[in-house]
Chain A
Amino acid sequence: MKEPVGTRGLILNEPFLWERGGKGRTGYSLPRRDVDSAPLPEDLAGDGPDFPDLSEVELVRHYTRLSTWNYGVDSGMYPLGSCTMKYNPKTNERQASLPGFTGAHPLVPSELCQGALQLIYELEHSLAHVAGLDAASVQPSAGAQGELAGMLVFAAYHRDQGKARSKILIPDTAHGTNPASAALCGFKAVSVATGPDGVLVPEAVEALMDEDTAGIMVTNPNTLGLFETHIQAIADIVHAKDGLVYADGANLNAVMGVVDFGRAGVDVLHINLHKTFSTPHGGGGPGSGPVCVVKRLEPFLPAPRVVKSGDGYALSEDFPKSIGKLHAFYGNFGIMVRAYSYIRTMGNKLKDVSQHAVLNANYIKEKLKDVYHLPFDVPCMHECVFSDKLQEQHKVTTLDVAKRLIDYGFHPPTIYFPLVVHGAIMIEPTESESRENIDQFIATMRRIAREAQEEPALLQEAPRNPKVRRMDETQAARKPCLRG
């Protein structure tokens, strides 16, 4: 398609539900009462909540119209760096809606939910296998909780060794949640500066690692989209002082079937099912952040755990060193079904996923680096980071470029992250996009770079096409209006 995807069409206005409808309209009919009537306790009596009176068609149109204001990965490319907004195959939804899964109450006795338990068991083993580690727990309900689980395991391990430690090393390219997760476990974060090539150098870790440091948290590939090539040497340094190595696997989409984290010296890794394993993401969640560990840390994993006994599966609490329960019941089960469906669908093609994700990012990097400044001009992994340095002279910022992309029908990439790059634009195309889509994105980015030179106001005033134009983000943060 040569024409821009984004145009200005008819945009339907839609009021609040309370401004629609009319007294007495309903969109439902209650079934006939099949129990004896009973008086309502007095303390529960009174006026009910203020629900709008709506017919079915009014309700359907309301949400359908709202949905046309939205933009999702089902509408187009969503190159949000560090978020892996890949397409979520519809077969995942189909498996997750099987009545045997949707109808299984979490308190049902294990002999009546063997299928669900088997799925959890096999998913944990598959994830550990992909990571190159020995065991996994799917309990954590998001990436940050996976990190927290990892840090709790660190703390439990050192306590078990008889010597609690107070510090943790965190590179300046780490995900922002890393220091927060560590602090919740009582560790003081010590920042490690990135080397000149955008990756950690062993000497920097050597200088900071001591007997009071619990270990290191490394995001690998890091948030510059670069693989931490010295990970093995760094792990050796940390292990020599009996520290542990945590890898934030938020960027696992770049290295499935390529990197064996166990052999790289990683002791704990968390995975985001809602990124790498194609489960809904970004308002469509909930998330899931399984944590994988090496054998010697397995006793500390969250409990209860699914264990195999004979031909069957059971939940066991018999893990005395466990860090305990992290989630009501056993985690976000519906998400596990989707991820399991994805893994079984892809099989050993998961390696192709990573290879295509990396190829797509490098293709974009090469095709744009003459018009956008590329701070680290080295082969990247599944995302590439540009900055607005070349646009600065025209008084055009990263924010303006991102807003202009909306006019052309693309979701903007991640901006102003990672923090180590001033005015960062972080693009992650994922493996989902075809060559044609990526070429159109590249052509659009180049066109925007030209506009920045010739007619910067087009960017400074963008977006022009969507329902709402540029929002006052400052005012929204300073004086938030929290109700309609």
Chain B
Amino acid sequence: MKELSEVNLPEDVRYTKDHEWARPKGEAFQIGITDFAQDQLGDIVFVELPETGDRFESGDEFGTVESVKAVSELFMPMGGEVVAINEALEDSPELVNTAPYTDGWMLEIKVGDPAAYDQLMDRAAYLDMLKGLEE
């Protein structure tokens, strides 16, 4: 398990309290889980994702991630419509472990209200939250 100082927290994404991240990509947003989340979960063996065209509200469960330890729910950082899913995860769920912010992305969503992105936590706020969890 990583020490907090070892957890990779990039500046170019925003974070949720449930350990998802979002990053603007053209008109859409890319969604995934954080390095902290993948480290806590351990080796990921299966990722269940919704279908393109599905719509979710912010905070809705959009899928599950199964590790050798447990099955955990995935929650939408923002409301919107799924425009792409990372099909590579079906055969290579380990991408979530090895590259949580790049090849291990999960969804691309088109967001009704792009301002919702600004409501998410930045790196500093998320790190503060993690420090709180450690205690």
Tell me the chain A residues, 395-445 only, with Cβ under 8 Å from chain B. Answer: 397, 416-417, 419, 422
Chain A to chain B: the 4 pairs with minimum beta-carbon distance, closest first: A477-B45, A474-B43, A416-B69, A473-B68
Assembled-state Cα–Cα distance A474/B43 (Å): 6
Query: Is A478 interfacial (CB 8 A cutoff)?
Result: yes
A-B contact pairs, 22 of them (CB 8 A): A176-B71, A392-B1, A397-B1, A416-B69, A416-B70, A417-B70, A419-B70, A422-B40, A473-B43, A473-B68, A474-B43, A474-B45, A474-B68, A477-B43, A477-B45, A477-B46, A477-B66, A477-B68, A478-B45, A478-B46, A478-B93, A478-B94
Given contacts A477-B66, A478-B94, 6 further A-B pairs with CB under 8 A are A392-B1, A397-B1, A416-B69, A477-B45, A477-B46, A478-B46
- Chain B contacts of A477 at CB under 8 A? 43, 45-46, 66, 68
- Chain B contacts of A397 at CB under 8 A? 1
Tell me the chain B residues, 56-86 only, with Cβ under 8 Å from chain A. Answer: 66, 68-71
Assembled-state Cα–Cα distance A417/B94 (Å): 23
Chain B residue nearest to A477 (CB atoms) is B45
A: residues with CB less than 8 A from B are 176, 392, 397, 416-417, 419, 422, 473-474, 477-478
- Chain A contacts of B43 at CB under 8 A? 473-474, 477
- Chain B contacts of A474 at CB under 8 A? 43, 45, 68
CB distance from A278 to the nearest CB of B (A): 29
B: residues with CB less than 8 A from A are 1, 40, 43, 45-46, 66, 68-71, 93-94
CB distance from A133 to the nearest CB of B (A): 32
- Chain B contacts of A392 at CB under 8 A? 1
- Chain A contacts of B71 at CB under 8 A? 176
- Chain B contacts of A416 at CB under 8 A? 69-70
Instruction: Choose among A397, A416, A478 the residue with the greatest number of B CB atoms under 10 Å from its CB.
Output: A478
CB distance from B68 to the nearest CB of A (A): 5
Instruction: Choose among B40, B45, B71 the residue with the greatest number of A CB atoms under 10 Å from its CB.
Output: B45
- Chain A contacts of B94 at CB under 8 A? 478
Assembled-state Cα–Cα distance A419/B70 (Å): 8
- Chain A contacts of B45 at CB under 8 A? 474, 477-478
CB distance from A197 to the nearest CB of B (A): 18
Chain B residue nearest to A478 (CB atoms) is B45
Chain B residue nearest to A388 (CB atoms) is B1
Chain A residue nearest to B42 (CB atoms) is A474
- Chain B contacts of A176 at CB under 8 A? 71
Chain A residue nearest to B3 (CB atoms) is A392
CB distance from B112 to the nearest CB of A (A): 22
CB distance from A373 to the nearest CB of B (A): 14
- Chain A contacts of B70 at CB under 8 A? 416-417, 419
Assembled-state Cα–Cα distance A473/B43 (Å): 9
- Chain B contacts of A478 at CB under 8 A? 45-46, 93-94
CB distance from A213 to the nearest CB of B (A): 18
Instruction: Choose among A422, A473, A474 the residue with the greatest number of B CB atoms under 10 Å from its CB.
Output: A474
Assembled-state Cα–Cα distance A419/B40 (Å): 12
Chain B residue nearest to A417 (CB atoms) is B70
Assembled-state Cα–Cα distance A342/B112 (Å): 61
Assembled-state Cα–Cα distance A478/B97 (Å): 13
Assembled-state Cα–Cα distance A422/B69 (Å): 11
Chain A residue nearest to B72 (CB atoms) is A419
Assembled-state Cα–Cα distance A419/B1 (Å): 17
CB distance from A149 to the nearest CB of B (A): 24
Chain B residue nearest to A415 (CB atoms) is B69
CB distance from A17 to the nearest CB of B (A): 31
Assembled-state Cα–Cα distance A303/B52 (Å): 43
Assembled-state Cα–Cα distance A397/B94 (Å): 21
Chain A residue nearest to B1 (CB atoms) is A392
Assembled-state Cα–Cα distance A176/B64 (Å): 14
- Chain B contacts of A473 at CB under 8 A? 43, 68
CB distance from A255 to the nearest CB of B (A): 27
CB distance from A80 to the nearest CB of B (A): 16
- Chain B contacts of A422 at CB under 8 A? 40
